[in-house]
Amino acid sequence: MKAPKINSLRLLQISSGILILGLILEVVTLLWFHPLSFVLFAFVAAALIGLGILIYLAALALVAAPPDRQS
């Protein structure tokens, strides 16, 4: 029972870190008026934010998963 809890907290931290990175990049692209800022947003910032959200949802799924019979 304990191991998934620790893992979900770790996943939460990873998700937060990736989201922060993606969101900071998004702010940079919003303040930088250049064609490359669109590319940076679409391919890097959006990917990081999407990945962060997915990892958070994975952490949620891990917590909600039924306990293993063997543990």
Judged by the rule CB under 8 A, the positions of this chain that interact with other proteins are: 9-10, 12-13, 15-17, 19-20, 22-24, 26-27, 29-30, 33-39, 41-42, 45-46, 49-50, 52-53, 56-57, 60
Shortest distance, position 65 Cβ to other proteins, whole Å: 16
Identify which of 53, 23, 19 has the alpha carbon closest to the alpha carbon of residue 41.
23
Shortest distance, position 69 Cβ to other proteins, whole Å: 24
DSSP 8-state code for residue 70: T
Q: How far apart are CA 15 and CA 23, in angstroms?
A: 12
